[in-house]
Amino acid sequence: MLIGESYIGAGAEAAHVNTVLGERSGPVAVAWATALATPSAGHAPFVAVVVPGIPVKPLTLFVNKAAIAGDEHGTLTWGAAQAGVAGGVADAVSEGILSEADADQSLIIAAVWVNPAARDADQVYANNRTATREALRAGVAGTPQLAEVLAARHRPFNPFYNAPGGQESAGSGAPGGQEPAGTDAGEGGQARAAEPQ
C-alpha cells in the first residue's frame, strides 16, 4: 500500500489530494469497496471517469473531503475536480510513475478537497490534475524522506495555522487546522508551486 499527498495552488482553487494505491486483492480493495458502498450525507464516493463510460485505470475512487455545499460546489467537485483526478491518474500511468502493466490489478483511493468558495473551474481542474499526479509520485517514491519531516518539525504550518516560529501562513488562521467552509485558503498542507502540465 502506497500513500501519497500533494497540495497544489493557492486560494480557494488550491487542491489537496491524498492518494492510497494498492492491489485489488489487498486491504486497499477492502477500503475501496467499503467506501463505495457506504456513502454519507454530502459524501458520495464514486469511480472517476476520463469521459463518461470510460473509468480511469487504475480504477480510482473519488472521495470528497468537503461536504457538497450547493449546486456550484457540486459541479466543481463532480466536474472539474473529477476530471483533474482522472487526468492526473492517466498522466501518472503515461509518464511511467505507475506501471501500465499493473493498471488492471491496482486500485486508487483519492481523497480530494474542493473548497466551497472555489469559482474557477479551469483552475480547480488544473490544480487537481497536478496534485493527483504528484501525490501518486510521492507515494511511489516514498517521499517525503524522514529527514525532511524531522527538519520541518521546527517550522510547522499550514494554511490555517502558523505555529510560533513557523513560516507565515497563507490562510485564515482557523484553529486546529480545520477546513472552514468559505475561506480562500484551501485545505491543509503546505502550498507548493504547480508543476507544468
Query: How far is the CA of 58 from the CAs of 14, 109, 147, 163, in angstroms?
Result: 24, 10, 31, 38
Whether 154 is catalytic: no
Catalytic residue among 16, 43, 73, 154: 16
Three-state DSSP at 63 gives strand
Residue 190 burial (C-beta neighbours within 10 Å; 0-12, 13-18, 19+): middle
User: Distance between CA 45 and CA 35 in Å, rounded?
Assistant: 7
Active site residues: 16
